[in-house]
Amino acid sequence: MKIKKNDKVKIITGKDQGKSGKVLRVYPEDRKILVEGINLVKKHVRPRREGERGQRVEVPAKLDISNAMLICTKCGKDTRVGFRVLGENKTRICKQCNSEI
């Protein structure tokens, strides 16, 4: 997968189009990611203790990886990701500025 945990991504389609956030978790088997503050859904939470009220909490939901684009740390642009192999090491590179991510 080209997007990893703690990467900064920009959403390119959907209800949160144009927003950006940090990747909290990656689900490679589903090809989905969890992004901080993006694709928020309301979850109903039961009261834990007696006398406490139940509430509705907004939590981020999974998002398809094709709807997000990586933001380069060097140039700050949203970019496609390429790979460069140097000996034993395989690194991700930015297609815009050709620098290592």
Per-residue confidence of the chain (101 residues) as pLDDT tens digits? 899 999 999 999 999 999 999 999 999 999 999 999 999 999 999 998 988 999 999 999 999 999 999 999 998 899 999 999 988 999 999 998 999 98
User: Is 93 within the bounds of a domain?
Assistant: no
pLDDT of residue 1: 84
CA dist 23 and 68 (Å) reads 10
- How many domains does the chain contain in total? 1
The single-letter code of the amino acid at 11 is I
User: Is 91 within the bounds of a domain?
Assistant: no
pLDDT of residue 101: 86
User: Is 28 within the bounds of a domain?
Assistant: yes
User: Is 59 within the bounds of a domain?
Assistant: yes
Predicted model pTM: 0.84
User: Is 84 within the bounds of a domain?
Assistant: no
Give the domain CATH number at 30: 2.30.30.30
Structural domain boundaries enclosing 31: 8-73
Q: Which residue has the tokens 């790979």?
A: 83
pLDDT of residue 62: 95
| Bridge partners, residue 34, by sequence | 25
User: Is 50 within the bounds of a domain?
Assistant: yes
